[in-house]
């Protein structure tokens, strides 16, 4: 026979935990003449099962159904599948939280400011950041193709002694591709003012001639009229 304290000590839980499971109908104590709870060896084994199921994330209701079932194998199999699905969802949510936190940390490290509008939909901003990264990668690949075409045509003229027209054709095609790349980049870029948090799309001429870094461009905000390095976003 075990008292509540002895049972708790055997299973490394608190007395209040034992009493809670008793009130929930998971444990069934007998009462002494002095109205103290007493538990059998079977209750010890039952409590160990309860603790294991709780560690796996099963609810009190699920555990009660499982322990009270005569044929508990099908019930346990169903609960395992259910808990696996719940755990996967929690993992996905946790992974998304980690990505959002990392995204905010990197943004603060680079720009020292966190846009106010991000509070509305952080996941959307993370997706936009990924789109911008993928778009830049595509533009870099296109740029590499332009370089290959331009310098390749020049190399053919110099080393193979073919007509200069080959280089002219390569130059014209390269210029056309450069124009297409430039226009595509402008079309997919918008900018965040670090002063007033406004999002805007500058005129092409202003955008084209502005000084820039990999993540910012020096532009004049149409709202606050401050000229500064504005943060580039995908649109």
Alpha helices, DSSP H only, in 112-121? none
Domains and CATH numbers, the chain: 4-68 (1.10.1660.10), 116-234 (no CATH)
Residue 82 · residue 45 · CB < 8 Å: no
- Interacting residues of 37 by C-beta distance below 8 A, sequence separation 6+: 3, 4, 19, 22, 29, 30, 31
pLDDT of residue 230: 87
Cα distance between residue 66 and residue 149, in whole Å: 70
List Cα–Cα distances, 13 to 7, 62, 150, 167, in angstroms.
Answer: 9, 20, 74, 81
pLDDT-based confidence at 35, cuts 50/70/90?
Answer: confident
pLDDT of residue 203: 92
pTM score > 0.85 for this model?
Answer: no
């Amino acid at each position: 026979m075990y008292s509540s304290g002895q049972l708790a000590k055997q299973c490394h839980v608190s007395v209040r935990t034992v009493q809670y499971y008793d009130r929930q109908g998971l444990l069934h104590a007998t009462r002494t003449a002095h109205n103290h709870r007493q538990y059998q060896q079977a209750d010890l084994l039952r409590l160990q099962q309860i603790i294991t199921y709780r560690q796996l994330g099963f609810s009190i209701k699920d555990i009660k159904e499982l322990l009270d079932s005569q044929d508990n194998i099908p019930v346990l199999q169903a609960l395992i599948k259910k808990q696996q699905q719940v755990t996967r969802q929690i993992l996905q949510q946790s992974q998304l939280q980690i990505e959002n936190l990392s995204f905010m940390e990197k943004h603060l490290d680079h720009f020292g400011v966190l846009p106010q509008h991000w509070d509305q939909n952080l996941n959307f901003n993370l997706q936009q950041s990924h789109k911008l990264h993928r778009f830049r990668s595509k533009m870099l690949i296109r740029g590499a193709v332009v370089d290959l075409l331009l310098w390749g045509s020049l190399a053919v003229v110099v080393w193979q002694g073919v007509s200069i027209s080959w280089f002219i054709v390569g130059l014209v095609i390269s210029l056309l591709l450069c124009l297409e790349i430039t226009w595509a980049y402008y079309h997919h870029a918008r900018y965040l003012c670090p002063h007033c948090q406004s999002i805007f799309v500058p005129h092409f001429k202003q955008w084209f001639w502005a000084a820039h870094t990999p993540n910012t461009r020096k532009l004049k905000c149409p709202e606050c009229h401050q000229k500064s390095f504005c943060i580039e976003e995908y649109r």
